[in-house]
Amino acid sequence: MSVLEIIDLKTWFQTQDGLVKAVNSVNLRIEKNERVGLVGETGCGKTVLSFSIIRLLQPTTMIEGKILYKSKDILKLSEREMQKIRGKEIAMILQNPTTALNPVLKVGDQIAEAIWLHQGLKKKEAKEKAVEMLEAVKIPLAEKRANEYPHQFSGGMKERALIAIGLACCTSLIIADEPTRGLDVTTKAQIIKLMKDMTKQRSMLFITHDLEVAAEICDNIAMMYAGELVEYAKTDDVFKNPLHPYTQGIFNSLPNRGLKPIKGMSPSLIDLPSGCRFYQRCDYAREICKNRHPEMVEMENGHFVRCLLYD
Amino acid sequence: MRAEYLIKRVFYSVLVFFITVGITFAVLRQIPRSYPGLDKSVIAQYFVYIYNVLQGDWGYSQGVPVLGLIWEKLYWSLIILVPAISLSLLIGILVGAHFGWKRGSKMDASVLNVMMFTRAIPPYWWAIMFILIFSFHLDLFPLGGYMSISALDRGISYSDILYHSALPIITLTVYSIPGTYYLMRNSMLLTVGEDYILTARAKGLSEKYVLFKHVLKNAMLPMVTMIPLECAYLIAGNIFIEIIFSWPGIGLLTFDAIAAKDFSLLQGIVLIDALLIIIANFSADLFYSHIDPRIKVGGGNV
Ligand SMILES: Nc1ncnc2c1ncn2[C@@H]1O[C@H](COP(=O)(O)OP(=O)(O)OP(=O)(O)O)[C@@H](O)[C@H]1O
Ligand SMILES: [Mg+2]
């Protein structure tokens, strides 16, 4: 039984400028203890996809499809039932550590409240466990730090504190949204190690811009482009044999592989092209790509790609 | 550090006080009249004035010491101002918080409209309306004044004062609720959209818990700094209220001082208003430093 199975998920926002189709027909499966990397450019819908899973989008959002968590469709759960899942079964580590911690509450208390809520401990015991969590994410002088406020923490420490909140009670699935963004090289390496060590017994959806970071942590990689998945494979396969021109383009833009950025910009999610969404930026684009929207096809065992080159 | 912050605040308060005194002094000096130390230089006159003010000698109005006069009237003004400020803050914050949380509902839109309408109307219009409706037609409250004629025989009583002050308080409260409400609602809207609220929800906390533990505390922060402004706004609005209700406070005194071109008195009134607002500001700063940890500790990396 998969921990998470997303089936044909669409997440759209009605805005004044039009319908923003942020997530389009996404299918994704995460097995027990599996770590899946979700990689894509800014604005391609990674965060919206994760908020759809944990159901923290405003009520006016249009969500279609199924999100099966241990075979249960969480899109059908009531808010009450969802609250029992959040933080306990599925936890989310938000993207921006400078804004994701409450400035007027002590860091220790922000961890403790999750523990107190889900594990039925007394406040004092929860606080002790919170200190243990801070130790686990390698914050020095954890006892003292637990009584400090977020503004007294450095960027890397805030990220650690956020990870501690996410991992405090969560046993099953962690969604980590860009936990390494904006960190210096050393801190980044430490956070990567931490994420790897701490999620050994858990499943994880790891969101990042950075293929190399994904490669260090994840078993499988899903490439996302303009609201849809365009390639999915084992990490090794993606690195040895990237199939989609977009994935290849991302590789070519890496510093050690030529630093050649993909030309152009991704299409607006309000006005998506009817054919291939990568058409305008693709070096292999043909006439047919302009009007035909490719389906996801399985090329080799477990290696999926959405491109007419392989049709 | 906290102490450092407080010293800074005290210093600024004193500075503001001297500047205010200086400006009143400079403006009122333009009006030809006689006052102590006229033969000395301007600077010397300013210091004489300051010295006198600090000594409690605020000049004389028709032979009566200004400070004593103001002190007595201030008491009456506070009978209206303190309940009006407390009530409007309480109601404004509660209503603002409620509809900021339940934003977008039909009720929210209607309340917003009513509040904007209320805000646009000057205080004397409310005063006249309320007198017409509640005093004249319904006969629930007196038409004005601060005690009944019968009090001349029976002596002044609290209930009589309460009875007379009710309508001015209600008017002033109604006049100032929208400002507080609007700021609180706005502050709620901003706070609810913050990332840390999403973090809180992602922990599985209930909506109620998120509201009370995470949203309200943050949304209240800007309100604290805004309370002194609200006080200034009310002190100004109160002038009209006191005139219309013939309430014997600072507002009515201001009106009389202007009518009689009594500049020593006017100077004293400006001074006392400035002092009130400086004190309100200082208390707000003190309170703010208590509830916002970013100020309490200082240093650290922001
Ligand atoms: N509440 C919303 N209403 C309307 N549009 C939204 C909303 N939330 C997100 N979007 C839009 O959906 C698109 C996808 O946003 P998302 O935050 O998921 O991108 P992302 O892949 O996480 O980017 P980044 O790497 O910069 O974090 C963006 O164009 C964004 O503007
Ligand atoms: Mg994002």
Per-residue model confidence as pLDDT tens digits over B221-277? 999 988 888 888 888 888 889 999 889 999 999 999 999 888 888 888 988 888 888
Among the residue ranges A98-107, A231-240, B45-54, B165-174, the one predicted with the least confidence is B45-54
Average pLDDT over residues A163-183: 91
Do B169 and B225 reside in the same domain of the chain?
Answer: yes
Res A256 pLDDT > 90: no
Contact assessment for residue B178 and residue B230, using Cβ atoms and an 8 Å cutoff: no
* Single residue among B214, B230, B251 that ends a domain in this structure: B251
Output the residue whose Cα is nearest ligand 1's atom 25: A42
Residue B69 lies in a domain: no
Output the residue whose Cα is nearest ligand 1's atom 8: A48
Do B106 and B195 reside in the same domain of the chain?
Answer: yes
Environment of ion ligand 2 (residues, CB < 5 A): A 47, 95
Structure token digits, residue A45 = 């819908």
Do B26 and B119 reside in the same domain of the chain?
Answer: no
Q: A87 and B203: CB-CB below 8 Å?
A: yes
| Largest interatomic CA distance in chain A | 67
Q: How confident is the model at residue B299 (pLDDT cuts 50, 70, 90)?
A: very low
Structure token digits, residue B90 = 């309480």
Residue at token pair 């005093």: B135
**Cα–chain-centroid distance for residue B201?**
37
Residue B63 lies in a domain: no
Q: A100 and B195: CB-CB below 8 Å?
A: yes
Do B142 and B233 reside in the same domain of the chain?
Answer: yes
Range 146-185 of A in CB contact (< 8 A) with B? 149, 151-154, 162, 165-166
Q: Tell me which residue of A99, A108, A106, A87 sits closest to A167, measured CA to CA.
A: A87
Q: How high is the mean pLDDT of chain B?
A: 86
Which fold, A4-89+170-306? Rossmann fold (3.40.50)
Q: How confident is the model at residue A91 (pLDDT cuts 50, 70, 90)?
A: very high
Res A75 pLDDT > 50: yes
What is residue B152's predicted lDDT score, i.e. its pLDDT?
A: 67
Do B215 and B96 reside in the same domain of the chain?
Answer: yes
Ligand nearest to the CA of A24: 1
Collapsing DSSP to helix, strand or coil, B205 comes out as coil
Do B114 and B236 reside in the same domain of the chain?
Answer: yes
Query: In whole angstroms, what is the distance from residue A149 CA to residue A102 CA?
Result: 8
Shortest distance, CA A107 to any CA of chain B (angstroms): 12
Q: A149 and B198: CB-CB below 8 Å?
A: no
Do B34 and B114 reside in the same domain of the chain?
Answer: no
Residue B90 lies in a domain: yes
Output the residue whose Cα is nearest ligand 1's atom 12: A22
Q: Which helix (H) or strand (E) holds B64?
A: strand B64-65
What is residue A55's predicted lDDT score, i.e. its pLDDT?
A: 96
Which positions in chain B touch A52 (Cβ < 8 Å)? none
Q: How confident is the model at residue B4 (pLDDT cuts 50, 70, 90)?
A: confident
Res B146 pLDDT > 80: no
What is residue B190's predicted lDDT score, i.e. its pLDDT?
A: 96
What is residue B262's predicted lDDT score, i.e. its pLDDT?
A: 85
Tell me the pTM.
Answer: 0.87
Do B38 and B159 reside in the same domain of the chain?
Answer: no
Percent of chain B with pLDDT over 90: 35
Res A103 pLDDT > 50: yes
ipTM: 0.93
Residue B71 lies in a domain: no
Do B38 and B138 reside in the same domain of the chain?
Answer: no
What is residue A66's predicted lDDT score, i.e. its pLDDT?
A: 96
Name the residue of chain A whose CA is nearest to B195's CA.
A100
Q: How confident is the model at residue A120 (pLDDT cuts 50, 70, 90)?
A: confident
CATH (domain of B187): 1.10.3720.10
Ligand nearest to the CA of A177: 2
What is residue B46's predicted lDDT score, i.e. its pLDDT?
A: 82
* Single residue among B251, B276, B291 that ends a domain in this structure: B251
Cα B213 to Cα A87, B34, B204, B207, B230: the distances in Å are 17, 60, 13, 10, 26
What is residue B53's predicted lDDT score, i.e. its pLDDT?
A: 84
pLDDT tens column, B166-217: 899 999 999 999 999 999 999 999 999 999 999 999 999 999 999 999 999 9
Q: How confident is the model at residue B300 (pLDDT cuts 50, 70, 90)?
A: very low
Q: How confident is the model at residue B36 (pLDDT cuts 50, 70, 90)?
A: low
What is residue B1's predicted lDDT score, i.e. its pLDDT?
A: 59
CA of A47 to the centre of ligand 2 (A): 4
Do B127 and B187 reside in the same domain of the chain?
Answer: yes
Pocket test for ligand 1, best of A21, A47, A63, A229 (most atoms within 8 A of CB): A47
Shortest distance, CA B217 to any CA of chain A (angstroms): 8
Residue B222 lies in a domain: yes
Query: Chain B contact for A291, CB < 8 A?
Result: no
What is residue B296's predicted lDDT score, i.e. its pLDDT?
A: 59
Q: B196 and A56: CB-CB below 8 Å?
A: no
Contacts of B82 by beta carbon, 8 Å cutoff, 6+ apart:
none
Angle between helices B195-202 and A155-169 (to 10 degrees): 30
Q: Is A265 exposed, middle or buried (0-12, 13-18, 19+ CB in 10 A)?
A: exposed
Q: Is B30 exposed, middle or buried (0-12, 13-18, 19+ CB in 10 A)?
A: exposed
Could you give the count of Cα atoms lying within 13 Å of A157 in the half-sphere of its Cβ?
Answer: 20
Among the residue ranges A52-66, A189-203, B53-67, the one predicted with the least confidence is B53-67
Res B158 pLDDT > 90: no
Which positions in chain B touch A154 (Cβ < 8 Å)? 301
What is residue B33's predicted lDDT score, i.e. its pLDDT?
A: 64
Residue B64 lies in a domain: no
Q: What is the 3-state secondary structure (H, E, C) of A115-150?
A: HHHHHCCCHHHHHHHHHHHHHHCCCCCHHHHCCCCH
Output the residue whose Cα is nearest ligand 1's atom 31: A43
pLDDT tens column, B92-128: 999 999 999 999 889 999 999 999 999 898 888 888 8
What is residue B157's predicted lDDT score, i.e. its pLDDT?
A: 75
What is residue B57's predicted lDDT score, i.e. its pLDDT?
A: 85
DSSP state of B131: I
Shortest distance, CA B1 to any CA of chain A (angstroms): 13
Average pLDDT over residues A265-293: 94
What is residue B228's predicted lDDT score, i.e. its pLDDT?
A: 85
Res A47 pLDDT > 80: yes
Do B242 and B94 reside in the same domain of the chain?
Answer: yes
Q: How confident is the model at residue B298 (pLDDT cuts 50, 70, 90)?
A: very low
Res A165 pLDDT > 90: yes
* Residues having CB within 6 Å of any atom of ligand 1: A 13, 15, 20, 22, 40, 42-48, 95, 209, 269
Query: In whole angstroms, what is the distance from residue A270 CA to residue A279 CA?
Result: 17
Q: How high is the mean pLDDT of chain A?
A: 94
Residue B256 lies in a domain: no
What is residue B287's predicted lDDT score, i.e. its pLDDT?
A: 85
Contact assessment for residue A11 and residue A61, using Cβ atoms and an 8 Å cutoff: yes
Please report the atom of ligand 1 found closest to the CA of residue A95.
27
Do B234 and B87 reside in the same domain of the chain?
Answer: yes
Q: How confident is the model at residue B165 (pLDDT cuts 50, 70, 90)?
A: confident
Q: Name the domain count of chain B.
A: 2
The boundaries of the domain holding residue B241 are 77-251
Cα A107 to Cα A160, A216, B173: the distances in Å are 11, 29, 40
Collapsing DSSP to helix, strand or coil, B61 comes out as strand
